[in-house]
Amino acid sequence: MNLSRRKFLTKSAVGVTALGSIPAIVSSCVSPNSKETKDKYSILTKGDTIVFQGDSITDAGREREKELSNNPGSFGSGYAFLAASSMLNSLPEKELTIYNRGISGNKVYQLADRWQKDCLDLKPNLLSILIGVNDYWHFRDGHYDGTVEIYENDLRKLIQRTIKEFPSVNLVICEPYYVLNTSVVDESWVAPMKEFQTAAHKIAKEFGTIWVPFQKVFEEAVKHAPATYWTHDGVHPAMPGAQLMAEAWLRTVE
Amino acid sequence: MNLSRRKFLTKSAVGVTALGSIPAIVSSCVSPNSKETKDKYSILTKGDTIVFQGDSITDAGREREKELSNNPGSFGSGYAFLAASSMLNSLPEKELTIYNRGISGNKVYQLADRWQKDCLDLKPNLLSILIGVNDYWHFRDGHYDGTVEIYENDLRKLIQRTIKEFPSVNLVICEPYYVLNTSVVDESWVAPMKEFQTAAHKIAKEFGTIWVPFQKVFEEAVKHAPATYWTHDGVHPAMPGAQLMAEAWLRTVE
């Protein structure tokens, strides 16, 4: 019986090398800044509520009946689960309440339709929004007649409506992204998607929100493995892509 | 309009402080060792297949129809998804294939019943098993007549069967755990569960497997937040508990 490749750990101690999830790709495409000296997640206060909003990328197969906070089933298997689990684990003293309210297929106007129930009623202290790819994709496929101007105006109205009710809410706008050389996304996506990204970034700057640069992160990732390793269709992340998104989100918000 | 609590990030750079998921609790209950100088995940070779096996804690709501590798839906929302996403993200060059084949309610003999399909056929290079709590819980509830001796013998047979077919497989045995002061687990669980833990640890030492000390990790965690923060019923982890388990698993295997 060959035991040579099996490790023998009699002590209950576990290894202490750097954690596997150290975000090599995320850190390789960003520069150090002065935040190093600050407390982690200093924008979060004890008892805060965090809401993740978006489309299928955020939804990630969550159950939509109970919609519990801090509950694995209610979070699905995506970047929101990964990011929220990490925050809940590392910040138990903050007693955070975190919801995932993304719904597959949503465009901005559909967020607006359910904003009272799925955002304002939850009284968020931090609100993260990732929306936009369907605003383009469904238009491209002929199932939607919205334009980038409608996207920008609807997103602005959504932010204004949120700030009106919660003036001190921390806002996070995530960049809608696309990944080339995948089963769905090709070069014809680039120019129109850049318009949606520019519109989202414009709103982020207009309201001084945190901005998560997902496009840059995925463009760095494809230098390390084929595009389809991170996302099969160029939109929905595979497991390494979801982890990449969570790490980028955590570093940005932290 | 009060923008004071919103951060303004015009640059696309993201923060670079330590990642939120740095495992403070895990590292606080273990000691540094010589592994610090080794390559990360040196036991994993390019193209390796990893299989997570177990009960509901591993299953975590995964879909059981397609059972794809590296697929979020096929992983559910538990420690296996968190650990696998982290490995896939940080080790793209290893081109890992990772499966979750945990099934809710399973005891050791039920793993044996499906071992050919759900383990051997997958040709694992690294196999992780977390099993045992139902072997006690279902006995306690009067739904099962197995004993700790049956558990130990069945687990030994399962390992022998695996090694016979794959002599160089890397084995990980995870400690079945319980958390007191929760909705289900009380002091009467301690003595019998310790017997199951001792049996699992005995098998781990007998075959020189990696051992993940989940009981110790949860006992450290409850010093930082109430037990129900980590697991409502004392068995199934809430989101911070799942993250805690993933980090302990990653550090041990790394």
Dihedral over Cα of A39, A243, A63, A143: its sign:
positive
- Is pLDDT larger for residue B28 or for residue A150? A150
Q: List, for residues A56-81, the tens digit of each pLDDT value.
A: 999 999 999 999 999 999 999 999 99
- pLDDT, position B38: 57
Tell me, yes or no, whether B8 lies in a domain: no
Nearest CA in chain A to B249: A14
Nearest to A15 among B24, B163, B251 (CB): B251
Q: List, for residues A169-208, the tens digit of each pLDDT value.
A: 999 999 999 999 999 999 999 999 999 999 999 999 999 9
Tell me, yes or no, whether B17 lies in a domain: no
Element (H, E) at A173: strand A170-174
Tell me, yes or no, whether A15 lies in a domain: no
Tell me, yes or no, whether A168 lies in a domain: yes
Chain B residues touching A246 at Cβ < 8 A: 85
Count of other CB atoms within 10 angstroms of residue A61: 20
B141-162 in b/e burial notation, b at 16+ Cβ within 10 A? eeebebebebbbebbbebbeeb
Q: List, for residues B46-90, the tens digit of each pLDDT value.
A: 999 999 999 999 999 999 999 999 999 999 999 999 999 999 999
ipTM score above 0.85 = yes
DSSP at B18: P
Nearest CA in chain B to A87: B20
State yes or no: pLDDT of A149 exceeds 90.
yes
Tell me, yes or no, whether B134 lies in a domain: yes
CATH code (residue B202): 3.40.50.1110
Instruction: Determine which of A2, A8, A19, A218 to mutate to test the interface with B (most B C-beta atoms within 10 Å).
Output: A19
Q: Among residues of chain B, what percentage have pLDDT more than 90?
A: 80
Q: List, for residues B192-244, the tens digit of each pLDDT value.
A: 999 999 999 999 999 999 999 999 999 999 999 999 999 999 999 999 999 99
Burial level of A43, CB count in 10 A (0-12/13-18/19+)? middle
DSSP at B32: -
List the one residue out of B95, B163, B65, B170 whose CA is nearest residue B125: B170
> What is the domain range of residue B165?
42-177+198-216+239-253
The number of distinct structural domains making up chain B is: 1
Burial level of A180, CB count in 10 A (0-12/13-18/19+)? middle
Tell me, yes or no, whether B104 lies in a domain: yes
State yes or no: pLDDT of A3 exceeds 70.
no
- pLDDT, position A26: 73
DSSP E strand stretches across A36-148: 49-54, 97-100, 126-130
φ, ψ of residue B184 to 5 degrees: the values are: -115, -40
Measured in residues, chain B has a length of 254
DSSP E strand stretches across chain B: 49-54, 97-100, 126-130, 170-174, 210-212
- pLDDT, position A254: 87
Token pair for A42: 């200093």
Which of the four pLDDT bands, split at 50, 70 and 90, describes residue A28?
low
Which of the four pLDDT bands, split at 50, 70 and 90, describes residue B254?
confident
Nearest to A85 among B16, B27, B239 (CB): B239
Chain B residues touching A17 at Cβ < 8 A: 35-36, 38, 40, 251, 254
Q: List, for residues B134-166, the tens digit of each pLDDT value.
A: 999 998 888 888 899 999 999 999 999 999 999
Nearest to A26 among B14, B72, B204 (CB): B14
Tell me, yes or no, whether B32 lies in a domain: no
Inter-chain CB proximity A89 and B243 less than 8 Å: yes
Mean pLDDT of the residues in chain B: 88
Inter-chain CB proximity A213 and B12 less than 8 Å: yes
Please tell me the pTM assigned to this model: 0.88
Tell me, yes or no, whether B230 lies in a domain: no
